Structure 1
């Protein structure tokens, strides 16, 4: 069924009337306008009021989830303006008395009419955490008491913004109109009669978010996690909602909004164990939420532990009295891989076994080998997800250090495939795959003690790609087939921390070592390159032996069986 989208321009007298009953959903960000935005709004309004006697002032648009003919309106976009306008109207109302005050108070609170079934209530309800504060001080017209509060004693940033903006509005009204009540009333009439908002309404949540994305491309779009938060927190008993909201928002702050959305994508994979086919919101609602007992359990037993595990894995922050350095080094290598498909497995394992440092070390050593194998062998996303799904299913079963999970081990086929790739033309791989392999090998040579900056990495050939006839290279490598065989293989490649030097690439071996591979200091940051600097000659026999040694090192460290 098509969801009807309607949009119309309304004066504030209509916006703040019984036709609209605004609620800010819990997933919305807190009230964030500071005195800068509030002051700008006031200045713009006063400037227009002073200079334009008849024209109308456009305040922008708001996006609502609202059924036609029903006042309840969930605010998807526009809470900052609606909240600030309410503060301004409240500040204005406090300047009046008698019938004039009662008249303007109607724009802040629904006075109620029993004959129409209308109960007295505020026209705008903020998020649960700030709702009562706003109702008491702003909508209760206790602005003098509000301004007198010590900002340091106010609960949160949102409420401090409300307090400060109320203070700004009172100060600016006093400075602009003084004691001139008639002029102040004219300004109030301008606000409610000549200032307009466009209200875009639809009864469909998805449709409202789509409209919001189009109209508010400059802003920060709502993420699926915001809506999931609304579903989850809204299902928790009200007495506990604030506690769980605080946990949720703390996790979001720690991960960042985009990181938090990534966490939920990984949680979806942990539960679904297959590639996503629809939106995260749809799949999370279908594949995760029904499998968790309650909303409280979803926060405390799923979102919180998996987010903590994500932060450990993503930021390499495992803490333990044993194996911590080795574990964090493995996590750094996993984070160098050009996809994050390994993260759900790491998150599930860490969430359940974080306190068993020996088992964590074992598992991550095997996981890095598995991830590296798929990365170096060029597995596509479907093959990777299928492979990790096998591991995730195994992680659901009972396992421990005494009886470790077997699915994290490389199969005989995977070991054989990796060996074949290691013996192939490594230089012709994509840069990400090639660089990972060479730096990982270099780290094995120094037993993991080195740190690397891949942003300044180049991979160079020792035997150059172009051998000039009559050169020293041509004499040492007379057989063209030998050059082709070894040119792009692992043994003939070295990592450097400098830009390519097209001229130096073709130097003879001794000059290349001194002028290019050794850099200005005559030494290298890389063990692989240092080995070459310490080599007397570069012949086919030397390269063949070096290839065997390097493959043996990789086979030992990655525990690859002989084929």
Structure 2
């Protein structure tokens, strides 16, 4: 039976009423709106209200977008899937307005912040919005309770969390702006905010349909992701509140260390480590079926999420620390991060997490993994071939199979080696996806690891021009057009520059091209490949062929071809 979905347009007076008690689930990120978003909201609201004296009912309404809730039909309790940022900011705004009003009018406003209890009915105060556990008490004390805004502004911001600083900063901004408005106009603003500002509330009783709805709605909130939903299920499966808080902190620390985008990538890599196959369903379903982190949530966070997250951070930042082999291992990480796909990362994470304290093994494995990843890239293996190969490698790592054996999925086959050599000996320049990686790898080999490639621009240039001018020295050296065309795009005729291409300089004569184009201002080149060219007095077919042979041999040595 499909879940029922309800959508209704509500004024803020109805949003912040007994009809709803909003809760921010633990999986949601902390409050993140800054002064910039708060300013945009308030500026829009004041602009729509304008300075006219017409009746509030005649003023153009303002739409705040939609929020998505998980909410049963018959009770007010609602988990906020999308809309946390707006609901929190609006509550701050209403609290500031309450503070700026005289006591009588402030009393009329407070009901939109909390439902007052009744001692005779046995009811306690019930707040319209409950933030995440980590922020709930802070928000209640300084925003919702009614007499603590001044105390909030006096708190040392350096001692607050990011979300608490945002709450403090937005409160300060609203006070600074609104206290400049005359009281009668401020009353009109409160009326307008509560009766002419609308939210579309979309509610459904389960998280799956709520997520589907959220995915197709545009709003001013920040995106909800797969990791947020998994966090909800995994943290929610921990029964003890203190343990929930502890593991929420671990989760959020790992997300902060990696950054939100890379943290999302991590879950794709975890799925691959377990599934060892291309995604066939939604990622959420595959996690539930094949990884089942909700069954043993603490174990998943302790033994999978944290070690794999730490491994990915070290690999991505090339920041392995050890007394042995740290620099060559980090150099291999830097090369792997230049590969044009991320399919190599799951086996990298798995192996590193198992062997992080054995640098000898790490150096050998990542030497071979870079060789494999580069080889598959040079061969232009498609995504299915790559996934199948790395799936076999994941199995081999899990089963502790000898990865150095010739038939190991980590090792290139004889046929693959032959095809790689043929590719490298061909028109490399025409292979746009691999040419820069190959030339940088070659340059590093020639410079014996002393080169650094932290340039904002690296371009590939031909020595022999693609279209030499009639009467040039180039055509004297290459009178045979067939031989010239055979040579022009090969490694032997290519070099690297740390500047953008110059279409005019590309066709200079050799001596001028060396001095005016290939050299830097200091008279040398940043690249060993280019320095080789500067040492030549002429550029003949023999020079290119010899350079091709030497370059190919250097790459064979690097990749054991």
Residues 494 and 529 of structure 1 are in contact (CA less than 8 Å); yes or no, is this contact kept in structure 2?
Answer: yes
Query: CA 1:505–1:242 in structure 2 vs 1: closer, same or farther (change >3 Å)?
Result: same
Q: Which position in structure 1 is the counterpart of 2:28?
A: 28
* Offset of residue 70 of structure 1: 3.4
Matches within 5 A, 1:199-214: 199-214=201-216
Residue in structure 2 matched with residue 127 of structure 1 by the alignment: 132
CA contact (8 A) 2:98 2:105 kept: no
Segment drifting more, 88-97 vs 522-531: 88-97
Q: Deviations over 1:132-170 (max 9, x none)?
A: 333455444453785486345965233344456667777
Specify every segment of 5 or more residues in structure 2 that has no aligned partner in the other structure, as ranges: none
Structure 1 position 356, deviation (Å): 1.3
- Distance in 2 between the 1:550 and 1:505 partners? 22
Q: Which residue of 2 aligns with 1:58?
A: 62
**Which residue number corresponds to residue 230 of structure 1?**
232
Find the partner of 1:255 among 253, 258, 266. 258
Other structure's SS at 1:317 match: coil
Cα gap change, 1:468 to 1:235, in 2 (>3 Å): same
- Indicate if the aligned counterparts of 1:17 and 1:110 stay in contact, CA closer than 8 A: no
* Residues 23 and 112 of structure 1, relative CA distance in 2, 3 Å threshold: farther
Contact 2:10 / 2:198 at 8 angstroms: preserved in 1?
yes
- Measured after TM superposition, the shift of residue 374 of structure 1 is 1.1
Of 349-358 and 454-463, deviating more is 454-463
What is the TM-score with the length of structure 2 in the denominator?
Answer: 0.85
1:174–1:530 CA distance, 2 compared to 1 (3 A): closer
Aligned 1:241-320 pairs, distance under 5 A: 241-290=244-293, 294-320=296-322
Instruction: Give the aligned partner of residue 352 of structure 1.
Output: 354
Find the counterpart in structure 1 of residue 422 from structure 2. Answer: 420
User: Which segment is superposed worse, 379-388 or 205-214?
Assistant: 205-214
2-structure distance, mates of 1:550, 1:455: 25
Change over 3 Å in CA distance of 1:48–1:522 after alignment to 2: closer
Question: Is the contact between residue 3 and residue 204 of structure 2 (CA under 8 Å) also seen in structure 1?
Answer: yes
CA distance in 1, matches of 2:539, 2:322: 46
User: Residues 186 and 348 (structure 1 numbering): CA distance in 2 closer, same or farther, change over 3 Å?
Assistant: same
CA distance in 1, matches of 2:104, 2:539: 99
Residues 405/96 of structure 1: CA separation in 2 closer, same or farther (3 Å cut): farther
* Map of 1:535 onto structure 2: 536
Tell me if structure 1 keeps the 8 A contact 2:235–2:247.
yes
Sort the Cα spacing of 1:51 and 1:156 in 2 relative to 1 into closer, same or farther, 3 A: farther
Q: Which moved more, 1:226-235 or 1:205-214?
A: 205-214
Q: Could you tell me whether the CA contact under 8 Å between 1:3 and 1:207 is conserved in 2? A: yes
CA-CA distance at 1:479 after TM superposition: 4.3
Q: 8 Å contact 2:3–2:205 — kept in the other structure?
A: yes
Q: What is the aligned counterpart of 1:378 among 367, 371, 380?
A: 380
What secondary structure, in the 3-state scheme, does the structure 1 residue paired with 2:8 have?
strand
Distance in 2, matches of 1:402 and 1:493, equals 34
Name structure 1 gaps, 5 residues minimum. Answer: none
d(CA) in 1 for partners of 2:186 and 2:517?
A: 78
| Comparing 535-544 and 94-103, the one that deviates more | 94-103
2:11 corresponds in structure 1 to: 11
TM-score, scaled relative to structure 1: 0.84
Partner of 1:544: 545
Q: Kindly state the Cα deviation for residue 191 of structure 1 after the two structures are TM-superposed.
A: 5.7
Whole-Å separation in 1 of the counterparts to 2:92 and 2:459: 59
Q: Which residue of 2 aligns with 1:240?
A: 243
